[in-house]
Amino acid sequence: MRIGIVGAGYVGLVTGAGLAQMGHQVTLIDIDRHKVEMINRCESPIHEEGLDSLLRSLVPDRLKANVEIEDGFGNVDAIFICVQSSSSDNEHLDLSYVMAAARDIGRALGNRRGEYPVVVVKSTVSPGSTEGVVIPLLEQSSGKRAGIDFGVMANPEFLREGTAISDFLEPDRIIIGGLDAKGEAVLEEVYRGINATVVKVDLKTAEMIKFASNAFLATKVSFINEIGNICKLLGIDAYKVAGAIGADPRISPHYLRAGIGFGGSCLPKDTKDLSIVARRLGYEPTLLRSVLEVNERQPLRLVDLAEKKLGSLRGRRAAILGLAFKPGTDDLRKAPSIQVVEELLRRGAVVVVYDPAAQIRAKAIWPDVVTYAESARQAVSQADAVFILTEWEEFKDVRLYAGKAVFDGRRVLKPSDVSGLNYDGICW
């Protein structure tokens, strides 16, 4: 099939590469000319395992990128909207990129004769956005009618950074939110060849499924962190508790790793956006609000732990191991490390940081107030206290920590590793 994708960011690029890998002819559209040129040179603009080699096998025969919609969309069967969406503040949801994409696609649809192209919303948008915002814009700018001249679907993604390509090709389920059966059939055809349960619902339900999934994952993390904080005060290892409660299939062992909290571009944003949607409906989302509050406070508990143990942190040399919100990515969006570094600086510590992938992005946040080490060993060698904030494999080398006060926020070191070390875990 001929597929168009508007927005070559994380979701768009991985979706595009995945669909091209399945044999479809894919055109990516992005206003960022630099990104477009990189993709056409088979260079991935994002740090994602396996994407560079996939691009080398797909570009230009099955995958190409353009800046302009006109160039690419003349005859595509399906057009995916994969642009960013988020909350602009604590009350408003910002759909401006999605709206701009809908207008542009509408104009392209206006020139189409015959056929039945399908527009697929894959961006994470609040429930009701496709019906209430996207469809009216598509109809206005195309002069055509949704469900008659073209189809509209909602098809949320559940990609995790670091494993996004396999998450796309081997999903737990495919959610198809449809306006009409004809459009559903086109989207089923697009995904033919992926072995996964297809869940067919209406547009709004599909949008809600995405929000609820991420909000639940966030809730699970804040739950185990709250339990972890109580365990810490009781001298109990939260991981032993998580292992035991996780044996109950109603709870499951997944996503119960206590630590400094969840970050990234999805869980914080989607949980917050869902809270905004709820308040707009006149419902106070007490649980979701608490999930975010627990998460907001969690990273600071590691700094408090260090101050409790070492006394004032003023003038102390603190080494940070790990900045990315999780291993396998260079992404610092809502990374808990940001709060830890900021709080250490605020308390007067001298900070040196090391991350195998995210240093360049970190320099945009802290150009000069912290020192950037070339290696974990170099960072630790200059420090009194070491804060482990991302579970990169290389930080599991226990020899790094001899003679240092260690504060582990990601359970990088196991109990059996730490005997003889001056070591503390945030929830164990």
Q: Which stretch binds ligand UDX (CB under 6 A): 43-51, 154-162, 357-365, 377-385?
A: 154-162
Nearest distance, CB of residue 159 and ligand UDX, angstroms? 5
Q: Which residues of 402-426 are buried (b: 16+ CB within 10 A; e: fewer)?
A: eebbbbbbbbbbeeeebeebbbbbb
Site stretch for ligand UDX (CB under 6 A), options 95-103, 128-136, 156-164, 412-420: 156-164
What's the rounded Cα separation, in Å, for the pair 372 and 370? 7
Nearer to ligand UDX by Cβ, of 9 and 117: the residue is 9
In one-letter notation, the amino acid at residue 395 is: F
Stretch that binds ligand UDX, among 60-68, 182-190, 259-267, 299-307 (CB under 6 A): 259-267
Figure out which of the listed residues 73, 325, 387, 407 binds ligand UDX, where binding follows CB under 6 A: 325
Q: Does 257 bind ligand UDX (CB under 6 A)?
A: yes
Confirm or reject binding of residue 392 to ligand UDX (CB under 6 A): no
Within 8 A by CB and 6+ apart from 416, the residues are: none
Binding mask 202-221 for ligand UDX (x = CB under 6 A): ------------x--x---x
Binding segment for ligand UDX among 57-65, 96-104, 258-266, 337-345 (CB under 6 A)? Answer: 258-266
Please say if 266 is a catalytic residue.
yes
d(CA 286, CA 289): 5
Contact between 326 and ligand UDX per CB under 6 A: yes
Cβ at position 134, least distance to ligand UDX in Å: 20
Is 358 an interacting residue with respect to ligand UDX (CB under 6 A)? no
Query: What is the spatial distance between Cα 340 and Cα 101, in angstroms, rounded to a whole number?
Result: 37
Which positions lie near ligand UDX, rule CB under 6 A?
157-161, 214, 217, 221, 255-257, 259, 262-264, 266-267, 325-326
Q: Any idea which residues carry the catalytic annotation? A: 266
